[in-house]
Amino acid sequence: MMGIVFNALEDFVLETADMETWNAVIDASDLKSGGVYTFGATYDDNEIVCLATNLCDQLGVSLEDGLTLFGQYLFGFLINKGPVELQEYEDTQSLLTNLENVVHRDVKRLHPNAYTPFFKYTAETHDTGTLIYNSKRQLCVVAGGLLQGAAKNYGQSVEMEHVECMHDGADNCKWQVSFFKL
């Protein structure tokens, strides 16, 4: 996992809780990195899972709710500190249509060892479509939160129906999505 995601998690904790909580999460986690993360470096995927699990325990929220909230936060973090291309789209649908060919391509150009999840959006109408997600990490809850965060950023809301899930044995996660202008 790229360091930017760990940086976002730390900022999320500092904004929603405090430094004491972040330190407690680090102390409760067995981290090869020691809990120090550099923006463009790559870290073991298990560290983000360990941190998220311990954070949710600290905050007394379910892992699913915690990961969804983090996904929502993560989009805002990425749009401010991640690839500049994220700021060039007028709505969530445009972003999703170009995610693999523009944004993820540029991430891999800058960080050749980066592993990015796969997203494919197929529009059915201007405001509805199907979103496919695949990742060895199977963080579909975070992906759903990212989608909600993206919609909010672009002045939209999104209704999502998770119709297939890797956690249930499917090859990919699949959502039927509908976007609404706020």
Average of per-residue pLDDT across 101-106: 81
Write the pLDDT tens digit of every residue in 80-103: 986 777 788 999 999 999 888 877
Distance CA 78, CA 4 (A): 8
Give the pLDDT confidence score for residue 85 in this predicted structure.
74
CA dihedral (16, 18, 24, 25) positive or negative: positive
Contact 139, 149 (CB under 8 A): no
Write the pLDDT tens digit of every residue in 6-35: 999 999 999 999 999 999 999 999 999 999
Phi first, then psi: give them for residue 120, nearest 5 degrees: -135, 120
Phi first, then psi: give them for residue 45, nearest 5 degrees: -55, -30
Average of per-residue pLDDT across 170-181: 98
pLDDT beyond 90 at 176: yes
* Secondary structure string (H, E, C) spanning the chain: CEHHHHHHHHHHHHHHCCHHHHHHHHHHCCCCCCCCCCCCCECCHHHHHHHHHHHHHHHCCCHHHHHHHHHHHHHHHHHHHCCHHHHHCCCHHHHHHHHHHHHHHHHHHHCCCCCCCEEEEEECCCCEEEEEEECCCCCHHHHHHHHHHHHHHCCEEEEEEEEECHHHCCCCEEEEEEEEEC
Give the pLDDT confidence score for residue 135 in this predicted structure.
96
Question: Which of 72, 65, 59 lies closest to 22 in space, CA to CA?
Answer: 59
Write the pLDDT tens digit of every residue in 108-166: 888 888 889 999 999 999 999 999 999 999 999 999 999 999 999 999 999 999 999 99
pLDDT beyond 90 at 104: no
Distance CA 129, CA 118 (A): 16
Give the pLDDT confidence score for residue 114 in this predicted structure.
85
CATH 3.90.1200.10 fits 72-181, yes or no: no
CA angle, 139 then 143 then 149, to 5°? 145
Average of per-residue pLDDT across 74-85: 85
